Amino acid sequence: MDQVETTTPDAPAAESGGSGKLKTIALALIALGGVLSLLAYMDEGGKTRFGFAYLLGFLFCWAIVLGSLFFVALQHVTNSVWSVVVRRVAEMLAAPIWVLALLFIPLLAFALLNKDFGIFPWMRAEKDALINHKAPYLNDTFFLIRTVAFFVIWIAFAFFFVRGSVRQDEGGEGRVKGTKRMRNVSGPFLIIFGLTATFAAFDWVMSLEPHWFSTIYGVYVFSGMFLSALAAITIAVLYLRQNGTLGFVNANHLYSLGGLLFAFTCFWAYIAFSQFMLIWYGNLPEETVYYVKRIKNGWMPITLAVVFLRFILPFFLLLARGAKMDPKRLMGVSVLVLVGQLVDLYWLVMPAQGDGPVLGWQELGPTALFTGVLLLYVGVFLGKHKAVAAGDPLFEKSRDFHL
């Protein structure tokens, strides 16, 4: 087959231009989000509202980062060739998990110090019988231990995978060994990931409404998480492809990314409907309360928006074969998926406040701030490291990948 005339990129992306603009956007977002967050926090009556907004912004970035770590491990465990050219982008998005650990500290402090108007009702002094029954799991100490454990585990594995890949850039004999080591660790990690991501979803999101429970909830949060990570990876790949850094990413690679986006769009619908239908069919008040809250009080438009943004629109926009290879279409759908993720998280988190939907600048501050922080990290990463895992033994094979 024809040899593709491409050179292996040796320089970090920053030197070939492109990350300067990224940093400007990042700093603008940080400034804007910071000011809005500060104003929202200073607002006397709005502490709880700010707490929820903070959680929303945190979860949005957390999903992208942890989902990217899952993507990296998934490519290792399946021994994928096609994804080697885009894996560094996922690694770059997975690396800042320690930043998110830092960002979680204020939320934790806020929740623990403001128990009576904090965001987790089970932390309050007055507990009803149901919450007392769940107290062996839902108590401050155990919550703290779990949160620390989650982050320690994620940071350790993110460090392992990113470091291992970056080390291969230097070349040398150890590259094959490094890949093999990552392959071996990826399998056990995926099991640990499944458990930690599920319990993190229970702890940080489901426990906002501690009376309610759903065993599929962790999978639901995971499906949205992986979708948003895929969308973020796709956007970053398309951006770096356009400025030439990842110029060798061809239609076959894009098709694989688009195919994953499409598949997990269906996966989300499957999981979301499974959760809804069983609760609707069983019709038990202790379970239906969750959906009743999200249908009444003006929440119905948001519920429908989630269904459209998460499933119906991306499904039909990506259905055709050509659509999964078209950079413009992929970019549009990826942005749509990220918007859908934000609306979905809003739908998961905000009804716990009790009233109808509220949306103002107070809700958007932390999301803008944390997205800015994430972008800034990506800009710094691109300045220090290559934008592609060119040291991976499978790199050449991946570059010439054909479906």
Partner 1 sequence: MSNAAAPEATRLVGMIGFRDDPDGIITAAETVRDEGYEKWDCHTPYPVHGLDAAMGLKDTPMAYICLIAGGIGAGAAMLMQWWMSVVDYPVRIGGKPLFSWPAFVPITFEFFVLFAALATMGGLFVLCKLGRWHSPLHDTGVMEQVTSRRFGVVLQADDEKFTEDGAKALLEKAGCVDIQPLIEFVEEEA
The least CB distance from residue 363 to partner 1, in Å, is 31
Judged by CB, which is closer to partner 1: 143, or 268? Answer: 268
Judged by CB, which is closer to partner 1: 3, or 7? Answer: 3
What is the C-alpha separation between 229 and 217, in angstroms, rounded?
Answer: 18
User: How many chain residues bind partner 1 (CB under 8 A)?
Assistant: 12
What is the C-alpha separation between 38 and 223, in angstroms, rounded?
Answer: 32
Judged by CB, which is closer to partner 1: 245, or 275? Answer: 275
Burial status of residue 339 (CB atoms within 10 A of its CB: 0-12, 13-18, 19 or more): middle
CB-based contact 50:117 (threshold 8 Å): no
Cβ neighbours of 403 (radius 10 Å): 11
What is the C-alpha separation between 89 and 233, in angstroms, rounded?
Answer: 6
The least CB distance from residue 59 to partner 1, in Å, is 28
Q: Report CA Rg, the chain.
A: 21
Nearest residue to 235 (alpha-carbon basis) of 219, 252, 249, 220: 249
The least CB distance from residue 258 to partner 1, in Å, is 15
| 214-253 footprint of partner 1 as x/- string (CB under 8 A) | ----------------------------------------
The least CB distance from residue 201 to partner 1, in Å, is 24
The least CB distance from residue 1 to partner 1, in Å, is 6
Q: Which residues contact 169 (CB under 8 A, 6 or more apart)?
A: 385, 386, 389, 390, 391
**Cα 133 to chain center, whole Å?**
32
Judged by CB, which is closer to partner 1: 7, or 283? Answer: 283
The least CB distance from residue 134 to partner 1, in Å, is 28
180 binds partner 1 (CB under 8 A): no
Q: Which residues contact 251 (CB under 8 A, 6 or more apart)?
A: 325
What is the C-alpha separation between 185 and 77, in angstroms, rounded?
Answer: 8
The least CB distance from residue 308 to partner 1, in Å, is 17
Using the contact rule CB under 8 A, the part of the chain among 68-76, 204-212, 231-239, 313-321 near partner 1 is 313-321
Judged by CB, which is closer to partner 1: 50, or 255? Answer: 255
What is the C-alpha separation between 152 and 170, in angstroms, rounded?
Answer: 28
One of 116, 141, 328, 402 touching partner 1 (CB under 8 A): 402
State the helix-helix crossing angle for 19-42 and 47-77, rounded to 10 degrees: 150
Judged by CB, which is closer to partner 1: 149, or 277? Answer: 277
Judged by CB, which is closer to partner 1: 1, or 191? Answer: 1
320 binds partner 1 (CB under 8 A): yes
Cβ neighbours of 74 (radius 10 Å): 18
Q: How many helices (H) and strands (E) does the chain have?
A: 15, 0
What is the residue whose two structure tokens read 């899952």?
Answer: 70
- Count how many Cα atoms sit within 13 Å of the Cα of residue 250 in the half-sphere of its side chain: 12
The least CB distance from residue 123 to partner 1, in Å, is 35
Judged by CB, which is closer to partner 1: 139, or 252? Answer: 252
| 362-401 footprint of partner 1 as x/- string (CB under 8 A) | ----------------------------------------
What is the C-alpha separation between 258 and 249, in angstroms, rounded?
Answer: 13
Judged by CB, which is closer to partner 1: 185, or 266? Answer: 266
What is the residue whose two structure tokens read 């108007």?
Answer: 117
Binders of partner 1 among residues 261 to 290 (CB under 8 A) are 273, 276-277, 280-281, 283
Judged by CB, which is closer to partner 1: 198, or 250? Answer: 250
321 binds partner 1 (CB under 8 A): yes
Binders of partner 1 among residues 76 to 105 (CB under 8 A) are none
The least CB distance from residue 132 to partner 1, in Å, is 32
The least CB distance from residue 223 to partner 1, in Å, is 17
Would you list the DSSP string of 96-118? Answer: THHHHHHHHHHHHHHHHH-TTTS
Q: Which residues bind partner 1 (CB under 8 A)?
A: 1, 273, 276-277, 280-281, 283, 319-321, 402-403
